[in-house]
């Protein structure tokens, strides 16, 4: 069973960037599609985008286009999500989650396993 371990909490200034990592264990990152989902305080879940490292496939939610970059390092089984031009509304817990590549590509992907979440606080 895969486990996802994310990097620790961050406090950032408005206008800066943050990069959150997600390391897989119990399975190589090449076996999965990795999505990033965020949750603002007291709010619901929001999908930001995803990557399938083995296919070189990447897609982002339209509202984050141009501000989010998702990458993966297969040698360390680690995925990354970088969000730029941070504003207070980006304060949230950021999760990584896995899907099987086949289901992700076909549009039936479910988020089978989740990381523990990383709290990003944007404050001046």
Partner 1 sequence: SYELTQPPSVSVSPGQPASITCSGDKLGDKYACWYQQRPGQSPVLVIYQDNKRPSGIPERFSGSNSGNAATLTISGTQAMDEADYYCQAWDSSTGVFGGGTKLTVL
The residues binding partner 1 (CB under 8 A) are 35, 37, 44-47, 50, 59, 61-62, 95, 97, 107-112, 114-117
Contacts of 8 (CB under 8 A, 6+ apart): 118
For the bound state, the minimum distance from the C-beta of residue 14 to partner 1, rounded and expressed in Å, comes to: 26
When the beta carbons of 3 and 16 are compared against partner 1, the nearer one is 3
Q: Where are the beta strands (DSSP E) in 14-115?
A: 18-25, 33-39, 45-52, 57-60, 68-73, 78-83, 92-99, 113-114
Q: How far is the CB of 13 from partner 1 (least distance, A)?
A: 27
Task: Using the minimum distance from each CB to partner 1, give the nearer residue, 36 or 80.
Answer: 36
| Of the candidates 12, 9, 21, the residue with the CA atom closest to the CA atom of residue 93 | 9
Number of H helices, E strands in the chain: 1, 11
For the bound state, the minimum distance from the C-beta of residue 22 to partner 1, rounded and expressed in Å, comes to 12
Pick 1 or 15: Cβ nearer partner 1: 1
């Amino acid at each position: 069973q895969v486990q996802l371990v994310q990097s620790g909490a961050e406090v950032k200034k408005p206008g800066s960037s943050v990069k959150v990592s997600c390391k897989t264990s119990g399975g190589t990152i090449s076996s999965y599609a990795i999505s990033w989902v965020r949750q603002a305080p007291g709010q619901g879940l929001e999908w930001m985008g995803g990557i399938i490292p083995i296919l070189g496939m990447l897609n982002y939610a339209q509202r984050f286009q141009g501000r989010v970059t998702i990458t993966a390092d297969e040698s360390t089984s680690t995925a990354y999500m970088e969000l730029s031009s941070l504003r207070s509304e980006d304060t949230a817990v950021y999760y990584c989650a896995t899907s099987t590549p086949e289901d992700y590509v076909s549009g039936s992907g479910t988020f089978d396993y989740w990381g523990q979440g990383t709290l990003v606080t944007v404050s001046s």
